[in-house]
Amino acid sequence: MAINLRSPYFIGTIQTNASYAILDLYIWTGSYNASTPIIYSLKKSVVGTGTEIFFDLSELIRDYIDITFDGNYNGQAVWFKEIQTVYNASNAVIFTGSANTQLALDGYWYFEEAQTATPSALISNRELFVLEDNAFRIPIYINNSPTVVFYKDGEVIASETLSPSPDSANQIKYVSIYGDDFNYDTFQERVVETGGTFEDNYCIESFLNKFSIGAVDKITVSDSSGIQTIKVNVIEECKYEPKKVTFINKFGALQDMYFFKKSKENLSIKKESYKSNTIDVYGQYNKSTHVNRDFNVIGNESISLSSGYLSEEYNEVFKQLMLSEKVWVTNIIESGEQVLPINVKTSSIAYKTSVNDKLVDYTIEFDKSFDTINNIR
């Protein structure tokens, strides 16, 4: 089971005659068997006449995970191990723990949730709404040696079996119908990025309208514990320009979701001002010179995105989006794709159900995570 670092992770021991304990913590990326120095050495004493000594290591380990996203889907995790030595009041060693290497992810548990084994499919929803002719991805935890199968109308379109790896960067694989190393979202992007020329002509348009590239309607993820089945709904949006939002979900993996309907962008500014003296030594002034002057003008842009109609399965997706500390939006520009960091501005949502609300859709506001004027120095 991988450790979720946004929730506490306690490690400790109960020893009779214990006075204090020293815990050496090792944290690293790369190979499971890599030799690494001690990162932290922690000391903690028992309280009163107690025999328990426990450490919370999650925040210390989490300092070494900084998930980034630039359009490429890479697994980002760390290895860690701890060795705990317990001493009595005479400074004699009475217990030495074993060093077990574990994997840590930037995920979390809910308060009411039991901590269980990490699933192979690192998403909570069992139904997906994806954009037509876009290569969507499923984050997969490879330690369980899962097999991912893509179906269309009951026929197997593609399948892949993933094997365990000793590299921390490979613990999460982002699997699409084209495999786990495919980093293009559309047929056009794949052509352009691989050095080809995409001609937007009648023949190409007719082909793409007739054939859906990589279309699937079901995915299964199977391992020794069972099978997870995911229904896939492919959405064709003709009026609006859909937006892809990528966020870190509760498993510490990157998850995509599409907002298919209307989007609105807004600009707000902050500024300071002062009244300037425009009179010269002769008592004259220029009528075109500003008397009230602005300075330190800072612009911030926000964007409002509408999801379109979804299933109740997406209540959990929106919950995890709202709880995510890092979110990105992908814009389609002339030269390809542009990934920009955003922050969730909406502070609350009311979960919708088909019984109460008939149709399930959400509108979420985001702030762009940078100033409009480039002031990075």
The whole-angstrom separation of Cα 83 and Cα 103 is 16
Computed over every residue of the chain, the mean pLDDT equals 90
- 136 part of a folded domain: yes
Q: Residue 51 CA to chain centroid, in angstroms?
A: 40
Q: Contact 105/4 with Cβ under 8 angstroms?
A: yes
Select from 65, 83, 105 the last residue of a domain. 105
Residues 170 and 42 reside in one and the same domain: no
Number of domains in the chain: 3
Q: Environment class of residue 78 by beta-carbon count within 10 Å: exposed (0-12), middle (13-18) or buried (19+)?
A: buried
Q: Which residue has the tokens 């037509």?
A: 132
- Angle (nearest 5°) at CA 234 between 324 and 244: 35
Residue 110 maps to a domain: no
DSSP state of 295: E
* Three-class secondary structure of residue 374 per DSSP: coil
* Helix residue spans in the chain (DSSP H): 58-62, 187-193, 202-210, 314-323, 354-357
pLDDT for residue 181: 53
Q: Per the domain annotation, does 168 fall within a domain?
A: yes
- For residue 267, being part of any structural domain is answered with yes
pLDDT value, residue 210: 45
Cα-to-chain-centroid distance, residue 298: 28
Domain region containing 227: 117-236
The pLDDT value given to residue 377 = 85
C-alpha distance across the termini of the chain, in Å: 42
Q: Which of 212, 236, 260 is the last residue of a domain?
A: 236
Neighbours of 336 (CB within 10 A): 14
Note whether 129 and 199 are same-domain residues: yes
- The verdict on residue 161 lying in a domain is yes
On the 0-12 / 13-18 / 19+ scale of CB atoms within 10 A, 350 is exposed
Maximum C-alpha span of the chain = 92
List per-block mean pLDDT (blocks of 10 residues) for the chain, which spans 377 residues. 96 93 97 94 91 95 96 94 96 94 97 92 96 91 96 94 96 86 53 59 52 77 96 93 96 97 96 93 91 95 96 96 98 82 96 88 97 92
Closest CA to 61 of 7, 129, 134: 7
**Same domain flag for 186 and 222:** yes
Q: Are 141 and 164 in contact (CB under 8 A)?
A: no
Q: Write out pLDDT tens, residues 47-91.
A: 888 899 999 999 999 999 999 999 999 989 999 999 999 999 999
Q: How open is the CA angle 166-169-175, to the nearest 5 degrees?
A: 105
Residue 12: C-alpha distances to residues 21, 43, 50, 349 (Å): 9, 12, 13, 39
Nearest alpha-carbon partner for 298 in 367, 369, 371: 371
Whether residue 42 lies inside any domain: the answer is yes
DSSP type of residue 270: E
Q: Does residue 133 sit in the same domain as residue 185?
A: yes
Last residue of a domain, one of 236, 263, 295: 236
Residue 32 φ/ψ, nearest 5 degrees: -55, -35
Coil, helix or strand for 215? coil
Judge if 44 and 169 occupy the same domain: no
- For residues 366 and 345, is the Cβ–Cβ distance under 8 A? yes
